[in-house]
Amino acid sequence: MEFLEKAYPYNFEGITNEVYQFRFISIGNHKITKIVSIAPVEKNLNWYNVGFGNLEKNGDLVTVNDLSEINNNDYDEVLATVFMCILHFFNSNPDCTVIFFGNTFHKHKLYKQKISSNMESLEQYLDISGGKIIEEVGIIEKKQTVIRNGKPHERIVKEKDINSLNNGVNVKSIERYNKEKTAEYQFVLFNLKRLTSIDVIKNYYIYTVMATKKLKELLEKQIEKSTSFWAGSQKMTIQELEAVEKFAKEKGKFSRKFSIHLKK
């Protein structure tokens, strides 16, 4: 099965204050509602940040938690769904750039490994770049209690300290994504696939039509699957949508720090 075909059926919840909001359910030992947000970080650059996490409710409090240990070990399915949401976004925003990174060092490494192992599938639709910054990102070590095999275990989460970059961020380089250099990338950029070589207008037109048709077919197939799955489901509440918007704003802090530098 192709990587993107593993995606769960997702529901596009709409756009609130320019934040594109998607919802899907991870199925396994747990039934986990997950959220994908795609929000602008720099309008002049047409840059958007993607974030995703578990939708959690604790009494009246609703949050999106991207540090949750509760999962079904379905990393391929979850990430394939996130990429389908990104392609959904690109279908109506073809000239934008989406920035992607993990909020912990473990997750960031895992995401890059998944990108590297699925390059052939992703590069049918996306131009992928890896970025490096000059500054060292600080680490905040947090203790977290998780339940494994019915027993509590303590672990240390190495979360990125965005506040350590208060003096700004200088982008060292942005280059075509190279699987051999993946450990060096602090962030990853995605753009809708473009022609990569100089060619005559006729061939460019043929390439564009073929790429657009292929993306349209992929999305139509996914939307058909999603429509059937989500038929009759309730829309997200105002409180849930507000939680997604708050989450998206928080996730965009790192992206804004160096997108402002690039604008200069």
Residue-level pLDDT, tens digit, the chain, 264 residues: 789 999 999 999 999 889 999 999 999 888 999 999 999 987 677 889 999 999 999 888 999 998 787 788 899 999 999 999 999 999 999 999 999 988 777 788 889 999 999 999 999 999 999 988 876 665 656 566 655 566 666 766 555 555 555 556 677 889 999 999 998 898 899 999 865 444 445 555 554 555 677 888 899 999 899 999 999 888 899 999 999 999 998 887 777 766 555 544
> Given this model, what pLDDT does residue 198 score?
46
Please state the domain extents for the chain: 3-136+169-263
Q: Give the span between the Cα atoms of 175 and 128, in whole angstroms.
A: 9
**Phi/psi class of residue 54: alpha, beta or left (left: φ > 0; alpha: ψ in -120 to 50)?**
beta
pLDDT of residue 108: 82
Q: What is the pLDDT, as a whole number, of residue 32?
A: 95
Closest residue by Cα to residue 35 from 73, 66, 77: 66
Is residue 151 packed enough to be buried (19+ CB in 10 Å), middle (13-18) or exposed (0-12)? exposed
User: What is the pTM (predicted TM-score) of this model?
Assistant: 0.84
The token pair at 182 is 């993946």
Q: Which two three-digit tokens encode residue 196?
A: 């990569």
Cα 149 to Cα 60, 68, 146, 152, 253, distances in angstroms: 29, 16, 10, 8, 36
Give the CA distances from residue 80 to residues 4, 44, 92, 106, in Å, rounded to whole numbers and listed in that order: 5, 29, 19, 19
Q: Please report the pLDDT score of residue 159 as a whole number.
A: 55
Q: Phi and psi at residue 33, in whole multiples of 5°?
A: -80, 125
Residue 13 has what pLDDT? 94
Task: Determine the pLDDT at residue 173.
Answer: 85
